[in-house]
Structure 1
Amino acid sequence: MGNCRSRKIASLLTYITPLLIISILIAVAALKRNSDTITNSQNEAAWYVLQLNKEYAEFHHQLHRYATGNSDHNDMMLQYEILWSRFTTILTNTHISHLYHFDGAYHQISKQFAYIQSIELQLIDLEPGDPEQALITQVKEHYENLVVFLSHKFRLSSGDLLKRVEATQTMKLLIYFLLCAIVLLGGILCWALWRESTSMRKLAMRDTLTGIHSRLWLNNHLNELVDAQQPFRFYLIDLDGFKQINDTQGHHMGDQLLKVVAKRLTALSGEHYHVARMGGDEFAVIEPLAVQHGINISQKLLNSFQQPVVLDGKTFSISASIGSSEFPLNASSVTEVLQQADFVMYEVKQRGKNGVQHYEIGHSPLEKKRVKEPDFR
């Protein structure tokens, strides 16, 4: 149940985490846009706007001088052309595209440019010394309106920039929150994966049919004992007649028999020895020899097979052929321990089964034909 829950949590977080990462990327992009708008509004855009104001003021000045007879028509029209080009630059230059971020700025500048274009014919026909007061007044009003509007828009305290500043702060908080969420969910994901891995490892260390230690656990434990140079005796147990019961009564009955045997061996298990299933009808017992416990495990193992087994109302007599080897007395490695135990177990079967034999110096697996070797890979 816990493993299933951990797996669901890990699966859910696997989908949520990428979404949070995408959200952070989007928030960072939005934060950059807002920051660029605030920065650029105080740089390129502000510079172009100031230049526009300057050229507009100069044009109004030249127009006034020409209308009063103090300037040449060409000078006035030259300034008009400069102002005209300044408007064009602002409205078409891609470097100040962020001008669109300021509500009404582009529209206001376009409106002013349209007005400047509309008075071109009047300027061409304007005679020197002709005080077109209405035209001069109109140009001055448009100029002043534009100056007031742009000065307000490009101040840091303007509503547009304040919104950007507030949005930037909000984005920063959002990014911090998302980062914290990712760290938290990453921790939960690691915990869920660790728990699932631990659970899977525990399952791998248990035999799925009988519930006792598996062959993987047996291999690991034997290697640990050998690496630590801890003396132990290894018992290899092979059920007698299991194949006949399994073939004649069915695999279901064979599985029940294996469960009964595992249960009996487990009942004998304690702090002094450990039981594992090697596979098929073979079991193993490890008896540590570091502590003298005075228990005759060999006899206990034989006794556990003396009582008949009742399976689905049918009674079956069972027995086992058991071979043992001792480390480091007779063997110097796990492989030798297994080979020696298997060899003497085979000898028990050759003598009529149902017995225990310990490997002694002088017995050599290479001197006699082997029927099988246990596969511990």
Structure 2
Amino acid sequence: MGNSRRITSLLIYITPLLIISVLVAVTALKRNSDIIANSQNEAAWYVLQLQKEYAEFHLQLHRYAVGTSDHNDMMLQYEILWSRFKTILTNTHISHIYHFDGAYHQISKQFSYIQSIEPQLLALKPGDPNSLLVRQVKDNYEDLTIFLSYKFRLSSGDLLKKVKATQAMEILIYFLLCAITLLGSILLWALWRESSAMRKLAMSDTLTGIHSRLWLNQHLKEQVKNKQPFRFYLVDLDGFKAINDTLGHHAGDELLKTVAARLAALSGEHYHVARMGGDEFAVIESLAVQHEINISQKLLNSFQQPVILNGKNYPISASIGSSEYPLNASNVSEVLQQADFAMYEVKLQGKNGVVHFQGPTAPNVALPNDRASTAERFTNSL
């Protein structure tokens, strides 16, 4: 019971952690998937536009150097290229550029170069297509084009890392889902087992081990609900308080255990025993199937032998009242009341006997032979 509770408590903590792990893994998987998708869309589009503007600027610069283009056209294309660099490096919406190792650094480096050549462009004169500035712009353009073309291909190292990370994340998610399913099943099993154990514990009397009052109430209700005939015996120990007070509660508990064990020996296909509380017990005799066993006499015989308490023998007896459903009672409450009335009749007649309730006229009494004279007034109802 204790181990089951510890396992259940542990699983209650572990299962939410696994669920959180799955959510984190799913988030990471989505992020990687977005990177792969958006890297071929959003960031790639801006990079391609940058390459296009850079190529156009190089073309305008070359034309101006050979004298086929106006200086203003060349500078206008320079301003467009400058703005394209600025947009890529400062626009927060192009966040996926940061997921490519070295891309931001390379673009930033190229932008710094473009900014640095502005004075040279303003002072550049046409007529020298092989000037150092034209060659430098061409070389930088080609370097950036090669770098970005490799970085933003699906086969590039950066994207391959993301693809592999996504695949690993998928495997991890499947593993976590399997683990959650397994642990969830174990948790449900542990909770069911603990619930069953608690129910079993509630259905058993903790002192004597026989059925409890809760079980008794439920069983009686089921019998009435299913229209199953039965006879109910209410067993009340005689002189229990005296023993409990003089010998102590430990001796009283031992007496209750002994009586419970003797009554439990009656349990079988047609009989069930329960403790109602205190020194009261109950025996339910099923009448759905005919049987020839005299349960009344067996109950009385259970108290013929003395009990050993603190090393000494003590005689015991019980006052037993019974009621029958549906012959005399129509519900559980009436069964209990009638059995209690019959038991009280035994108390009035000197205890140590069995009275069967048979309606308001007269109960049916069964007493030991040495008290037969006491039962004469009930002879007609036997």
- Give TM-score scaled by structure 1 length: 0.93
Shift of 1:271: 2.2
Shift of 1:4: 2.9
Shift of 1:270: 2.5
Q: Deviations over 1:122-169 (max 9, x none)?
A: 111112335461110110000000000000000011111111111111
Shift of 1:364: 9.4
**1:93-242 alignment runs, 5 A limit:** 93-131=91-129, 133-242=131-240
Structure 1 residues 249 and 303: CA distance shift in structure 2, 3 A:
same
Q: 5+ residue gaps in structure 2? A: 364-382
Residues 72 and 128, structure 1, Cα contact 8 Å, conserved in 2: no
Shift of 1:301: 0.9
Structure 1 runs (4+) deviating above 3 angstroms are: 128-132
Give the whole-Å Cα distance in 2 for the aligned partners of 1:364 and 1:101: 97
Q: 5+ residue gaps in structure 1? A: 366-377
Shift of 1:9: 2.0
Partner of 1:294: 292
Structure 1 residues 325 and 179: CA distance shift in structure 2, 3 A:
same
Partner of 2:347: 349
Give the whole-Å Cα distance in 2 for the aligned partners of 1:364 and 1:151: 109
Structure 1 residues 363 and 255: CA distance shift in structure 2, 3 A:
farther
Aligned AA (1:36): D
Give the whole-Å Cα distance in 1 for the aligned partners of 2:345 and 2:78: 117
More divergent stretch after superposition (90-99 vs 138-147): 90-99
Give the whole-Å Cα distance in 1 for the aligned partners of 2:340 and 2:221: 18
Could you tell me the percent identity over the aligned residues? 79
Aligned partner (choices 43, 46, 49) of residue 45 of structure 1: 43
Shift of 1:188: 1.0
Aligned AA (2:281): F
Residues 251 and 309, structure 2, Cα contact 8 Å, conserved in 1: yes
Structure 1 residues 363 and 160: CA distance shift in structure 2, 3 A:
farther
Residues 266 and 272, structure 2, Cα contact 8 Å, conserved in 1: no
Partner of 2:301: 303
What SS does the corresponding residue of 2:94 show, helix, strand or coil?
helix
Residues 238 and 351, structure 2, Cα contact 8 Å, conserved in 1: yes
Give the whole-Å Cα distance in 2 for the aligned partners of 1:68 and 1:363: 135
Give the whole-Å Cα distance in 1 for the aligned partners of 2:361 and 2:276: 24
Q: Deviations over 1:313-343 (max 9, x none)?
A: 1222211111000111111111111000000
- Give TM-score scaled by structure 2 length: 0.92
Give the whole-Å Cα distance in 2 for the aligned partners of 1:209 and 1:330: 33
Partner of 1:5: 3
Partner of 1:371: none
Shift of 1:267: 1.9
Residues 234 and 283, structure 2, Cα contact 8 Å, conserved in 1: yes
Shift of 1:310: 1.1
Give the whole-Å Cα distance in 2 for the aligned partners of 1:226 and 1:364: 25
Residues 348 and 356, structure 1, Cα contact 8 Å, conserved in 2: yes
Give the whole-Å Cα distance in 1 for the aligned partners of 2:90 and 2:215: 76
Give the whole-Å Cα distance in 1 for the aligned partners of 2:147 and 2:362: 105
Aligned AA (2:147): F
Q: Deviations over 1:285-331 (max 9, x none)?
A: 01111222211111111121122111111222211111000111111
What SS does the corresponding residue of 1:356 show, helix, strand or coil?
strand
Give the whole-Å Cα distance in 2 for the aligned partners of 1:250 and 1:334: 35
Give the whole-Å Cα distance in 2 for the aligned partners of 1:218 and 1:202: 13
What SS does the corresponding residue of 2:265 show, helix, strand or coil?
helix
Give the whole-Å Cα distance in 1 for the aligned partners of 2:353 and 2:309: 24
Residues 306 and 313, structure 2, Cα contact 8 Å, conserved in 1: yes
More divergent stretch after superposition (105-114 vs 64-73): 64-73
Residues 307 and 315, structure 2, Cα contact 8 Å, conserved in 1: yes
The total of aligned residue pairs comes to 363
